[in-house]
Structures are given as structure tokens and as C-alpha cells.
Amino acid sequence: MSEGDEMEVESPTIEKDPSIFAEEKKEEGNAFYKKRQYLEALNCYSKAIELCPTYASYYGNRAATYMMLYKYMEALEDARQSVRIDRAFVKGYVREGKCHLALGDHIAAGRSYQQVLMLEPENNAAKADLALADRVQKFEEMAEVDYQKGDFRKVLYCMERCIEQCPACMKFRIRKAEVLALLGRYQESQEFANDILHKDGMNADAIHVRGMCLYYQDNIDKAFQHFQQVLRLAPDHQQAKEIYRKAKALIAKKEEGNKEFRSGNLQAAYNLYTEALAIDPNNKFTNSKLYFNRATVGSKLNRVEEAIADCTRAVDLDDTYIKAYLRRAKCYMETEQYEDAVRDYEKILKLDKSQENKRLLQDAKLELKKSKRKDYYKILGVTKTASVDEIKKAYRKRALVHHPDRHSHDSPDVQKEEEKKFKEVGEAYSVLSDERKKSRYDSGADLDELEGGAGFDFGVDPNQIFQTFFTGGGGPGFSFGGPQNTAPGGFTFQFG
């Protein structure tokens, strides 16, 4: 090598301490976190951990970021790792507790917060979080008691309070979806179940809830498919086993009752429907149909009041069940409960504006109007099919019983009441003995005009009717077999 040749020598490289790079990444991550750019922050914290995997704060920061992304399981693992590295890392215990609570484990959350208070006895945030964990525990215990009682509204309330503090708890969300189904809020229940299945397509509990909704809406075939899928995924799923058994038993018993009904064995059908109703009180739609079926049988067995009660139970379970309203309205008509019948036919017409339903409502209103007037048939004690001779015979008997002269020695109140009855008897006879008036009375046409408003107002004196009926317009008087009295109109009676 000549003197003019120069030798090129490389300068020694000074490697930067990885902890410095890690700290830079952490600070970068903090900046992203403050801007709520959580994915970018997550990436920075992960790089910091790669560079320095023994720093508790890096895991703690990444745990906080995972929580903001609702990834509580990942957050929990980082929080746990942070306190493994540093047993005095308070923020790690706090985040561990928050993750446990979000996931619904209030007992584990309580342990984490207790650990915080051991390290920092005056940590008010930890005290508040511990109180929340205790509150969740109380709501969960209340929900279990109310569930056993069948008070599903209270269970729903408790679950909603739990979910507020435990948004990632599948157990609480499943229970809420289940009680929504039991309360008949099927769409909401299915939405909850579908949300769970979107995250976990093989969640047997969510599939079970969807099956419940289908079963309670009387979509039996699809419900059975769901229950079978649940049992394939979780052969020991007790709720699915129980509801599957009930569903099969309910359908079998209902069909057995229908068969007996078609065969004319009414009492047997009634008993089978009763047995079916005891199988699953929560299946509202099927039970509504069972109550209607039993009401139909009851009406044919002349147990009309029982039929009305069963129809009422049917519409309480399904307030759009037209057949049940129709059956109840018919029973109301048969028992002359016309106001109730009108209310039912009005409801029916809102659900189905058919000409037939309009006619039924008009008929019920007419019968109601007729029922509010005097019942001339009842006053005379005859049926609506009574002949002219039967009407005359009834008038003769009633007129003699209530004639005022027969009660001349009674108290003024009795005399007044008997005089009123005597007038009503004459009024009834005047209408029912006249073919034209009787026809109009029976049809309900022009009732107010026919009755002349209140009282007897047909232009005929009841005493004149009585005189004409008994004397033929001036014949011999009628004797009661006692001292003679002169009745209004000039004919005589003898009262004993």
C-alpha cells in the first residue's frame, strides 16, 4: 500500500437501547389514544410490548385501549399480565376489575377492587366500582328469585340494570332475550338473540331463544329444528330438553282433543283441552287456541258462562283472536248480555271490516235497544212464540192479579205499585194482541215511537181494555166472590 492510499474505516455503530424505542412507541400510542384513534394506539402499544415485554404499564395501556374497542377478553388478559409483572400496579388491578365487571363476573371484579384498596385504601374510584359490583350481584340474585316465581317483568328490569354495568356479559343478555320471549315480546327477543349469534354463530343459548320465539308463535316445525340444533351443539342443554318435551306433549294433547271433538265426544274433548292447558302456561298463542277450543265445547255443552270465561282468557292471551271474540259475542247474545256483545262486535269490526261483521254488530245493537224497553212477553209471562189465545189467557190472569180495586185495602205504596203493574199488563196486551204492533215490536223498528216515550201511551185506557176484555163492551160484570165493588167503567167485582 502506497503512502497516498487511504484506508476507509467504518465508524462503530452505537445500538439504541430498545427501551428507548419502546418508550417512544408508548408515547406515540398515548397521543393516538387521546385522539380516540384506538386502533393506531393499539398498534403502538403492541410494538412497545414487543420491544420491552416486561413493562407493566405497556400492558396496562393496551388493556385500556382494548376496553375502548369493547374487546374485554383481550383487555382482561393484558390487565392480568400487568399485575403479574408488577404486583403493586394499581391501574392494572383497576382495569382487571372493570373487565371482570363488563364480562359479568362481579365476584372476580370485587376481588380486583379489594386489591386496589389494599394498595390505596383511600381510592374512591375503586370504592365506587366495588359498590357497582355489589349492586350487580344483588340484581342477579333478585332476578333468579323472580324467575322462579315467574315474574318475568321484574327479571327483565334486573337484567337491564345488570347489562348497564356488564355490557359484554352473554349470560345477562341471553337471560334478557329469554324473558322477552316469555313476555311475548318476540321481535325484541329475536333481535337480541340474532345479535349474539352474529358474534357467535354456534351459541346454543341464543339458538334456544330463537326456538322459543318460534314455538310461542305457533311455528312448531321451525321451533323443533332449532331445539334439535341446540341439542346437537349442547346435548345436556336442560332448557332445550324441557321445552322440546313440552312442545311435543302440548301438540299431541291438542290433536287428541281435536280428534275427540270431531268424533262428538264433547266431554272427553273438554277434558283433553284442560289437560293441554296445564302443560306450558308460557305458550300464549297455543293456549289461546286451546281456550277457544274449550269454549266451543263448553257452549255446546250448554256451559255458556264457562265458555265466556274461556273466550276471555283466549283474547287476554291474543287480543287479535277474532274467532274468540265471535264466540264470546255469540254467548253474550244467548245470555242477553247485549252491551258486552256490542263491545265485542265493535272490536271484531275493527279487526275485520267485513259485511257479515257489520251485520252482526247491527243485530247486537238492535237487541240492545230492544232490551232497554219493557219486555212485554215477560210482563205477561209468555214466550215470544205464544199464540193469540195464550196471550189472552195470560192477560186475563195478570190483569185480575194486579187490578187496583183488588188492592183497595192495601197500603198506598202497594196500591201504587199494583196500579203500575196493571197499566203495564194492559200495555203489553195492547201490543202483543195487535198483529201490526207485535210485528213492529218484535222487529225493533220505531221502538221509541211505538212506546210513546216513557210509560203507556197508545191512546187506550188500561181500564177500558180490561172492561172490554171481560164484559165484551157492556156485558155482565166479573165476580171475585166477595162484597161487590164498582170498578171504573161501570162494571162490578166481588172481592173476598
Question: 232: buried, middle or exposed (CB in 10 Å: 19+, 13-18, 0-12)?
Answer: exposed
pLDDT digits (tens, 9 = 90+) for 221-267: 899 999 999 999 999 999 999 999 999 999 999 999 999 999 999 99
The C-alpha cell that represents 217 in the structure block: 308463535
Predicted local confidence at residue 190, as pLDDT: 95
d(CA 238, CA 204): 11
CATH number for the segment(s) 54-138? 1.25.40.10
Q: What top-level class would CATH report for the domain 376-444?
A: mainly alpha
Residue 34 clears pLDDT 80, i.e. is over it: yes
Report the alpha-carbon distance of residue 260 to residue 181 in Å, rounded.
32
pLDDT tens-digit readout, 434-465: 888 888 777 776 545 554 444 444 455 667 66
Q: Which three cell numbers stand for residue 78?
A: 393484558
Long-range contacts of 291-298 (CB under 8 A, 24+ apart): 291/317, 291/324, 292/321, 292/323, 292/324, 292/327, 293/254, 293/257, 293/258, 293/261, 293/269, 294/270, 295/324, 295/327, 295/328, 295/331, 296/261, 296/327, 297/261, 297/266, 297/269, 297/270, 297/273, 298/270
**Predicted confidence band of residue 403 (pLDDT cuts 50, 70, 90):** confident
Helix ranges (H only) for 372-432 are 376-380, 388-402, 412-432
Model pLDDT, residue 491? 43
Average pLDDT, the chain: 87
> Could you state, in order of their start, the residue ranges of all structural domains in the chain?
54-138, 280-372, 376-444
CATH number of 280-372: 1.25.40.10
Quick: pLDDT tens for 101-120. Answer: 999 999 999 999 999 999 99
Q: How many of the other CB atoms lie within 10 Å of CB of 145?
A: 12
pLDDT of 126-152, one tens digit each?
999 999 999 999 999 999 999 999 999
Percentage of residues of the chain with pLDDT beyond 90? 67
Specify the pLDDT at position 352. 95
β-pairing, 492-494 vs 484-486, is antiparallel
Same fold, 54-138 and 280-372: yes
- Please report which helix (H) or strand (E) contains residue 33, including its range: helix 18-34
Report CA-CA distances (Å) from 294 to 173, 299, 495: 38, 9, 58
Average pLDDT over residues 325-332: 97
Q: What percentage of the chain carries pLDDT values higher than 70?
A: 86
